[in-house]
Amino acid sequence: MTDKSLPFTQEQLEAIAAEVPTPFHVYDEAAMRKNARTFYAAFAWVPGGFVNYFAVKALPNPHVMAALKQEGMGGDCSSLAELKLCAAVGITGDKIVFTSNDTPAHEFVEAARLGAIINLDDLSHIAYLEKALGGRLPEMLCFRYNPGPLKAGNAIIGKPEEAKYGFTRAQLFEGYRILKEKGVKRFGLHTMVASNELNPDYFVETAQMLFDLVVELHRELGIRFEFLNLGGGIGIPYRPEQTAVDLAQIGARIKAAYEKTIVANDLGPIRIAMECGRMVTGPYGYLVSRVLHKKAIYKNYVGLDACMANLMRPGMYGSYHHITVPGKEAGPRKVYDVTGSLCENNDKFAVDREIADPAIGDLLVIHDTGAHGHSMGFNYNGKLRSAEVLWQGGGQWKLIRRAETYADHFATLDYPGLG
């Protein structure tokens, strides 16, 4: 079970809404930092230090990234914009992992200029990168492993053979052999094959799989690995009946696997990294909107001033996001479809959901929007991207992104009368 009570009162939200137009996303900084510390404590045993490379795409706001940097996190980037955000907040060098796919040459050039750890997605990218960098390779390189159709017994890992990412097992052996031949000196290995996974066994199995692979790669090629990146994908309890992953338990079980495999084969020390996004910021973000309309036709509807352009997950994946009405937690409840205003019938935040019965004009809060929320937004129907607010506790908050204006929206059109 997960407590879905809000970290702010109705009055505190109304005070923000008096200055920042709804809808907006608000992020709870203290809760995010506390979670980051729990995460790092679970991996404090890692020889040479543990790093979580925050997946920038989850919440690409430099104010949040700067707070996460203070907590020791690096940045996981897959595009030039994400590299620029990292550089702006002072995340550079081996605090960046650049895990892109289908990557244009100039993005590799910028990643190399920043000293990022480059994680290649395919065997053919070795030559592509070498050409992009004017005929040389970085001193350190990493490959992304796609475990494909694993043996029975590894069912937890899902269906990586359907995914476009990474090297096959055979290609990994070939790839590291080529790197060695070309004089690359430092090696990493990465995998990322799940998303929003709440089963802790999955992460322990992924670690064990990489540890075993490192033993075999060492046996066959004589290379030693400097770090292993277990990827992201730790899930969050979107539903109140779900429970967050026990990070301390995962950390302890991965430690046991490390000792049994890496230490026993005398292949340490190997640094361990992860690149979680959702788990780092997801539960600490809230989309705050106002009820504009209610209607009763064949079903009952609550219409908001937020829409799918502010939070795409429910419309796109049918994802559950918890909904509360501040100040009405103890009041009567009723079943509604909660909708936005796009001319798309899947613009619904909830379908047939029993919620506290709101009145027109009430604030309504959609939970767990701190990852893949604002960042997945778009401008369909000319909807403007919302503001983002950082909640600093005790009634203190700061605007960390203003809402778009129509001038922003029309800025790329050169046409009289628009702006």
| Least distance from ligand PLP to the Cβ atom of residue 307, Å | 23
Interaction of residue 277 with ligand PLP, rule CB under 6 A: yes
Cα→Cα distances 368→156, 327, 400, Å? 25, 19, 18
**Amino acid in position 173:** F
Interaction of residue 122 with ligand PLP, rule CB under 6 A: no
**Helix intervals (H) in 222-327:** 247-258, 278-281, 313-317
* Nearest residue (CB) to ligand PLP, 282 versus 303: 282
Report how far residue 324's alpha carbon sits from residue 326's, in angstroms, rounded to the nearest whole number.
6
- Please provide residue 62's backbone torsions phi and psi, each rounded to the nearest 5 degrees: -60, -25
- Between residue 10 and residue 39, which ones bind ligand PLP under the rule CB under 6 A? none
Interaction of residue 192 with ligand PLP, rule CB under 6 A: yes
Interaction of residue 79 with ligand PLP, rule CB under 6 A: no
Task: Specify the 3-state DSSP secondary structure of 324.
Answer: strand
| Least distance from ligand PLP to the Cβ atom of residue 142, Å | 11
Element spanning 91, H or E: none
Query: What mask of x and - would describe binding to ligand PLP in positions 345 to 384, judged by CB under 6 A?
Result: --------------------------x-------------
**Which member of 62, 74, 188, 232 binds ligand PLP (CB under 6 A)?**
232
Interaction of residue 82 with ligand PLP, rule CB under 6 A: no
* Nearest residue (CB) to ligand PLP, 317 versus 406: 317
Measured from each CB, the residue nearest to ligand PLP is: 232
- HEC sequence for 141-181: EEEEECCCCCCCCCHHHCCHHHCCCCECHHHHHHHHHHHHH
Query: What mask of x and - would describe binding to ligand PLP in positions 150 to 189, judged by CB under 6 A?
Result: ----------------------------------------
Task: Specify the 3-state DSSP secondary structure of 190.
Answer: strand
**Which member of 58, 132, 312, 323 binds ligand PLP (CB under 6 A)?**
58
* Nearest residue (CB) to ligand PLP, 195 versus 265: 195
Residue entry with tokens 């040479």: 48
List the Cα angle 295/299/302 in 5-degree steps: 40
- Please provide residue 329's backbone torsions phi and psi, each rounded to the nearest 5 degrees: -55, -35
Instruction: Give the footprint of ligand PLP on this chain (CB under 6 A).
Output: 55, 57-58, 76, 78, 99, 192, 195-196, 231-234, 275-279, 371
